[in-house]
């Protein structure tokens, strides 16, 4: 996340994520699944603004940004409004635990697609905790906010890692990882999404779990070719039984000269690892022409500050630029 002060309040950028490795180890007594995953944040952001107010009301608004600017383009899923939105739930939870009655005006600009496996809702919740903590001058630590975020969702603590991480447990146990070099991806968002609960409902836990250590070491060494060979997602076969888009995207990426490809999270976004940025733009352009969804290029984030980048303020799902 990337926080800054503005004239009337605070603004934070909430990044999306990709899962380079995802193993399902079994069902837990609490109903969640025990997982092990290697996650990388990418330079696709939602934007959250926060203006403290004297009254006790939390005013929330949400703007959905469509990257191609087309009125006919299919959007994926719905963004919950009001108290059902994770942003509102996060702000209300922090206010309640802090024992304050302050209000706020909160605005979400939504660029990360929902029901896509990119973690947009969880990232927004983490960003809401950070920005409310700053706006109300509560002084909570990052660790305290992360623990609070775990009550909102399993993926929320990930976004306090400020970079790639391995997540275990139900996703709340986060171990930061440093990745050497840069990684460039093409991400395709098909016209239909999937509910996470539905995918887990048909997923079978591994009898012989794969080890995240191999791909972690390859990533730490900056060996993108090895990372491409080691990409893995246990949820992908389950998602394929629920959506024809997964199989179609796998076939399309297999015909491209990418280093590796797979679904992110519980889907339906699908990505390919490329050799460099120019290669990613070329692959994205070809996939866009195939009509399989909206393609874009992204790269892994590692503790940088992107405020001066035009990509932060623009609509990011768009046709890729030419070489």
Mind telling me the catalytic residues? 17, 155
Q: What are phi and psi of 81, to 5 degrees?
A: -105, 165
Contacts of residues 278-281 at CB distance under 8 Å and 24 or more positions apart, as own/partner, are: 278/323, 279/184, 280/184, 280/185, 280/186, 280/320, 281/320, 281/321, 281/322, 281/323
Other Cβ atoms within 10 Å of 182 Cβ, number? 12
Distance CA 189, CA 117 (A): 10
Distance of CA 132 to the CA centre of its chain: 20
User: From edge to edge, which strands make up the β-sheet containing 270-274?
Assistant: 260-263, 270-274, 184-189, 294-299
Which spans in the chain are helix H? 86-98, 120-135, 142-150, 196-202, 213-220, 224-230, 235-242, 244-254, 277-290, 310-313
> What DSSP line would sit under 172-213, residue for residue?
TEEEE----S--EEEEEE-S----HHHHHHHPPPPSSPPPTH
């Amino acid at each position: 996340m990337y926080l800054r002060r503005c004239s009337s309040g605070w603004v934070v950028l909430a990044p999306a994520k990709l899962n380079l490795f995802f193993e399902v180890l079994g069902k837990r007594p609490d109903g969640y699944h025990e997982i092990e995953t290697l996650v990388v944040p990418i330079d696709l952001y939602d934007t959250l603004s926060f203006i403290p107010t004297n009254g006790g009301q939390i005013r929330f608004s949400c703007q959905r940004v469509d990257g191609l600017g087309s009125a006919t383009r299919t959007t994926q899923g719905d963004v919950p409004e009001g108290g059902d939105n994770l942003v509102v739930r996060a702000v209300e939870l922090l206010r309640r635990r802090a024992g304050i009655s302050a209000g706020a005006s909160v605005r979400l600009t939504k660029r990360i697609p929902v029901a896509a496996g990119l973690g947009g809702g969880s990232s927004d919740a983490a960003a809401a905790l950070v920005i409310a903590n700053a706006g109300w001058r509560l002084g909570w630590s990052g660790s305290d906010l992360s623990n609070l975020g775990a009550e909102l969702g399993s993926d929320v603590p990930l976004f306090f890692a400020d970079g790639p991480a391995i997540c275990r447990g139900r996703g709340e146990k986060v171990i930061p990882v440093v990745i050497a070099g840069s990684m460039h991806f093409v991400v395709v968002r098909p016209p239909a999404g999937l509910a996470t609960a539905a995918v887990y409902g048909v997923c079978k836990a591994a009898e012989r779990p794969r080890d995240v250590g191999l791909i972690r070491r390859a990533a730490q060494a900056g060996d993108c070719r090895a990372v491409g060979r080691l990409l893995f997602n246990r949820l992908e076969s389950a998602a394929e039984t629920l959506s024809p888009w997964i199989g179609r995207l796998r076939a399309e990426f297999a015909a491209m000269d990418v280093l590796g490809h797979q679904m992110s999270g519980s889907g339906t976004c699908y990505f390919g690892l490329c050799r460099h940025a120019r290669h990613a733009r070329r692959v994205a352009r070809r996939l866009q022409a195939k009509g399989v969804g909206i393609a874009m290029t992204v790269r892994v984030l590692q503790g940088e500050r992107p405020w001066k980048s035009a990509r932060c303020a623009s609509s990011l799902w768009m046709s890729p630029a030419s070489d």
